[in-house]
A and B are shown apart, each in its own frame.
Chain A
Amino acid sequence: EPEVTQTPSHQVTQMGQEVILRCVPISNHLYFYWYRQILGQKVEFLVSFYNNEISEKSEIFDDQFSVERPDGSNFTLKIRSTKLEDSAMYFCASRRGGSSYEQYFGPGTRLTVT
C-alpha cells in the first residue's frame, strides 16, 4: 500500500540554523500539507500546497517558513532561522483530490532546536 514517507526521522539543530524537512507524498496525490505537533499539544495546520503553489497557510507559517516541490516526487519544508519554539514533530500529508477527501500522513520528523 502506498504511503507518505519523511526524512529524517529526527533532526537536531542549533538555534538560528536552517533546516529542510523532506517528504515524499503518495505518487498520484495532488494536494500536499505540512502540520506540526508541539509536545503535549494539538496537531496544527501549517500550510497546504496545490498546483505548485501555496493554497492556504496559517499564522504560524511566517516568512521563516517556505515549501517547495523541487521535482515530481519530493515536497520540502524549510525553516530559515530556527527558534527554540520550532521544536516539534512535523508531519507531511497528502490527498489525491477530486472527490477523495482523505489525507494520509507520514511518520513525522522530530525537530529539536537547541
Chain B
Amino acid sequence: GENVEQHPSTLSVQEGDSAVIKCTYSDSASNYFPWYKQELGKGPQLIIDIRSNVGEKKDQRIAVTLNKTAKHFSLHITETQPEDSAVYFCASIIGLGTSYGKLTFGQGTILTVHP
C-alpha cells in the first residue's frame, strides 16, 4: 500500500522567516495531495491541496510544489506568523477519480513560530 514519509518532525522558525515541510510518497498512482493544519484540540483543517496534473499551487502565504518524478511534494509557508504554529500533515490519495478517496497521512510536523 501507499506510504507517506514527512520531514522534519519538528520545525522552529522566527516570525517572518519561511518554513518548508517535505513529504515523499511511494505509489506512483497517487494523484491528489492535500495538506492539513491541526491546532491543539481541533480536527485537521485543509489548508491547500494539489492534483498530480499541476506542479505548483499558491494561496497567499502558502504554496505547495509537486515533483511526480521524484514522488515528492512540499509545503512552503512564507512570512510566518505565531498563529501558523500548529501540527501540519501531508497526505495522499491513490487513484482519486476511480477510488473512494482513502487518505494516507504523513507523520506530522510540529511547527513553532517564535515572535
**A: which residues have CB within 8 A of B?**
4, 6, 31, 33, 35, 41-45, 48, 50, 55-56, 58, 91, 93, 95, 101-108
- Residue B89 CB within 8 A of the other chain: yes
How many B residues touch A, CB cutoff 8 Å?
Answer: 25
- Residue B32 CB within 8 A of the other chain: yes
B75-115 CB contacts (< 8 Å) to partner A: 89, 91, 93, 96, 99-108
Q: A101-B32, A101-B51, A102-B46 are in contact. Are A45 and B102 (CB under 8 A)?
A: yes
Chain A residues near B44: list those with CB within 8 A: 43, 91, 105
30 A-B residue pairs with CB within 8 Å: A4-B43, A31-B100, A35-B103, A43-B89, A43-B105, A44-B105, A45-B103, A45-B104, A48-B102, A56-B99, A56-B100, A58-B102, A91-B43, A95-B101, A101-B32, A101-B51, A101-B93, A101-B101, A102-B46, A102-B49, A103-B34, A103-B101, A104-B46, A105-B36, A105-B43, A105-B46, A107-B41, A107-B42, A108-B42, A108-B43
Chain B's nearest CB lies how many Å from the CB of A75?
A: 14
Chain A's nearest CB lies how many Å from the CB of B36?
A: 7
Apart from A42-B107, A58-B102, A104-B46: 13 A-B pairs, beta carbons within 8 A: A4-B43, A35-B103, A42-B105, A43-B44, A56-B99, A91-B44, A101-B32, A101-B93, A101-B101, A102-B49, A103-B101, A107-B41, A108-B42
Chain A residues near B41: list those with CB within 8 A: 107
Pair B34/A102 contact, Cβ less than 8 Å:
yes
A50 to B100, CA, bound (A): 8
A109 to B10, CA, bound (A): 25
A7 to B112, CA, bound (A): 30
Nearest residue (CB) in B for A6 is B43
Nearest residue (CB) in B for A89 is B43
Chain B residues near A102: list those with CB within 8 A: 34, 46, 49
A50 to B89, CA, bound (A): 25
Pair B89/A56 contact, Cβ less than 8 Å:
no
A41 to B105, CA, bound (A): 10
Chain A residues near B51: list those with CB within 8 A: 101
